[in-house]
Amino acid sequence: MTEKTSLNDMQKLVSLSKRRGFVFQSSEIYGGINACWDYGPLGVELKHNIKSAWWNAMTRRPDIDGIDAAILMHPQVWKSSGHVDGFTDPLVDCKKCKARFRTDNEIYSKEKKCPSCGSTDLSEPRNFNLMFKTFMGPLEDAASVVYLRPETAQGIYVNYQNVQVTARRKIPFGIAQIGKAFRNEITPGNFIFRTREFEQMEMQYFVKPGTDEKWMSDWKERRMQWYLDHGFKKQNLQYHQHGEGELAHYAKAAFDIQYKFPFGWQELEGIHNRTDFDLGRHQQASKKNLEYFEEATKEKFIPYIIETSAGCDRSLLACMCDAYAEEVTQDEETKKEEVRVIMRFHPKLAPVKVAFLPLSKKEELSKPTQKLQEEFVEDMVTQYDESSSIGKRYRRQDEIGTPLCVTMDFESLNDKKVTVRHRDSMKQDRVDMSQLKEYIQKKLKNFNSEAGV
Ligand code: ATP
């Protein structure tokens, strides 16, 4: 081995995603619909693994509970939150080529011309609200307008007291939620980076005013560590602190965790000190007392909120970009030099954990290989593959990031041993079948991102 190249061209990932069944274009047989994507068999496993890793990191703490709020909420929620008036992007239309873009577009902001055709015949910027509207009930009138939530956070704020009382929580405590959000983005794109329907993983941590800065710095560190613990490369992650002009109206401080995508450093997750803005606004508009009473000090206050807000689809994209590698190497069978594409997923996130591959399709081998696989199916996602040469099958598993392959050959029938082949090192071990499960569980658990599997 080997010369390694990381991902430099998104198109490679888009085509791998389609070819192997990670992500498909939505409604593809009708020509697709702009910026909507469907997760295929491997994509949905990967996404599920990301969500459960996040969920476990949050709710297996003694101070955080989960909820699952409705997507449709009382329209007043979005007035109180500021979204009806303020969740807008300034939009410009080109009268010549009909392109539509945001005023923060690099070409427009510098040269005041259309980024697409160069025309200067442009509309004045106008504010475009990013919330999707629909109607509740049979009447399509103004009184029945409801919104598809543009963030999951509001479902947590309006339930803050329900959770605090029913789970008998004392401050500080947190509420976590994973769910769909919708934004009518003006310029979606970069594959699943910016879409109009996406999933968020949000946690809101309720603290006593005065302790907010300490908790902000705690969550900032913890969230970065979560990415590192799941195999993301350190050199591809950084913080970006929001400066004065960038800070949202509700925030006292804000940090983004950014990832170095092939198209540049971009936000993966936001960590915000939202102060008492959200609960204060909901208290004022709903006329419900949302204050917290602290038993020990007999003080009443509206809690401050530290928010961690991550995009699930965006984390998945970053995870795929980070895992992607091309290596010039020797085919394990033919010994010819070739390029292997490999997804170096952390085993916790890898959609398939082990592949079972009989050396030959003959029943003599296929039957016992399938029987061996059966011992694993309840514990982890596995695949069985008997088609084409063993070298090609290893390559296929490398491309979907399967950490380990188990190969049964004719010798296995005598010595009751199988070959375990490791994705990253391509090392092969001969393992006694009676110890295979223990061996595999240990390998998956002891993964270290430097050495790989
Ligand atoms: P941007 O400025 O890029 O539009 P934002 O700062 O408005 O994003 P937040 O409101 O902080 O984003 O959303 C939190 C997280 O939700 C983001 O870090 C991102 O991971 C995810 N997210 C937001 N909008 C989208 C989208 N259109 N498509 C996919 N993920 C998104």
Q: What is the pLDDT of residues 160-198, one digit of tens each?
A: 999 999 999 999 999 999 999 999 998 899 999 999 999
Q: Is residue 406 over pLDDT 90?
A: yes
Region 306-334: mean pLDDT is 94
Calculate how far, in angstroms, residue 388's C-alpha sits from the geometric centre of ligand 1.
43
pLDDT score at 448:
81
Calculate how far, in angstroms, residue 254's C-alpha sits from the geometric centre of ligand 1.
14
Assess if CATH 1.10.760.10 describes domain 2-72+148-319: no
For the ranges 4-8, 234-238, 291-295, 368-372, the lowest mean pLDDT is seen at 4-8
pLDDT band, residue 56 (cuts 50/70/90)? very high
CB of residue 271 inside a 6 A radius of ligand 1 = no
Other C-beta atoms closer than 10 Å to the C-beta of 383 total 19
CB of residue 400 inside a 6 A radius of ligand 1 = no
Assess if CATH 3.40.50.800 describes domain 352-445: yes
- Ligand 1: which atom is nearest the Cα of residue 267? 18
The answer to whether residues 261 and 6 touch, using CB atoms and an 8 Å cutoff, is no
202 three-state secondary structure = strand
The answer to whether residues 127 and 144 touch, using CB atoms and an 8 Å cutoff, is no
CA 156 to chain centre: 20
- Ligand 1: which atom is nearest the Cα of residue 315? 20
pLDDT score at 2:
58
CB of residue 311 inside a 6 A radius of ligand 1 = yes
d(CA 18, CA 38): 10
For ligand 1, atom 12, the nearest C-alpha belongs to 270
Tens-place pLDDT, residues 20-30: 999 999 999 99
pLDDT band, residue 8 (cuts 50/70/90)? confident
Name the token pair of 425: 């090192």
Calculate how far, in angstroms, residue 311's C-alpha sits from the geometric centre of ligand 1.
7
Q: Is residue 451 over pLDDT 80?
A: no
pTM for this prediction? 0.94
For the ranges 108-112, 196-200, 412-416, the lowest mean pLDDT is seen at 108-112
pLDDT score at 143:
86
Pocket test for ligand 1, best of 238, 314, 321 (most atoms within 8 A of CB): 314
Pocket test for ligand 1, best of 200, 201, 308, 317 (most atoms within 8 A of CB): 200
d(CA 44, CA 21): 9
Closest by CA to 327, choosing from 427, 424, 453, 452, is 424
Region 85-110: mean pLDDT is 91
Q: Is residue 153 over pLDDT 90?
A: yes
Name the token pair of 253: 């401080």
Name the token pair of 379: 């514990």
CB of residue 269 inside a 6 A radius of ligand 1 = yes
Calculate how far, in angstroms, residue 216's C-alpha sits from the geometric centre of ligand 1.
19
pLDDT band, residue 204 (cuts 50/70/90)? very high
The answer to whether residues 434 and 375 touch, using CB atoms and an 8 Å cutoff, is no
Long-range contact list for 215-221, CB < 8 A, 24+ apart?
Answer: 215/172, 215/306, 216/253, 216/271, 216/273, 216/306, 219/271, 219/306, 219/308, 220/255, 220/271
CB of residue 183 inside a 6 A radius of ligand 1 = yes
Closest by CA to 408, choosing from 441, 444, 375, is 375
Is the peptide bond prior to 172 cis by the omega test (within 30 degrees of 0)? yes
CB of residue 200 inside a 6 A radius of ligand 1 = yes
Region 204-218: mean pLDDT is 98
Tens-place pLDDT, residues 415-427: 999 999 999 999 9
Residue type, 168: R
pLDDT score at 233:
96
Q: How far apart are the first and last CA of the chain?
A: 15
Calculate how far, in angstroms, residue 284's C-alpha sits from the geometric centre of ligand 1.
27
For ligand 1, atom 19, the nearest C-alpha belongs to 311
For ligand 1, atom 22, the nearest C-alpha belongs to 311
Residue type, 196: R
For ligand 1, atom 23, the nearest C-alpha belongs to 311
pLDDT score at 3:
61
Other C-beta atoms closer than 10 Å to the C-beta of 124 total 7
For the ranges 110-124, 223-237, 303-317, the lowest mean pLDDT is seen at 110-124
- Ligand 1: which atom is nearest the Cα of residue 188? 27
For ligand 1, atom 26, the nearest C-alpha belongs to 194
- Structural domain spans, the chain: 2-72+148-319, 352-445
For ligand 1, atom 16, the nearest C-alpha belongs to 311
For ligand 1, atom 21, the nearest C-alpha belongs to 311
CB of residue 310 inside a 6 A radius of ligand 1 = yes
Q: What is the mean pLDDT of the chain?
A: 95
Residue type, 52: S
**Rounded percentage of the chain residues whose pLDDT exceeds 90:** 87
d(CA 397, CA 135): 47
Calculate how far, in angstroms, residue 111's C-alpha sits from the geometric centre of ligand 1.
27
Residue type, 61: R
d(CA 270, CA 376): 38
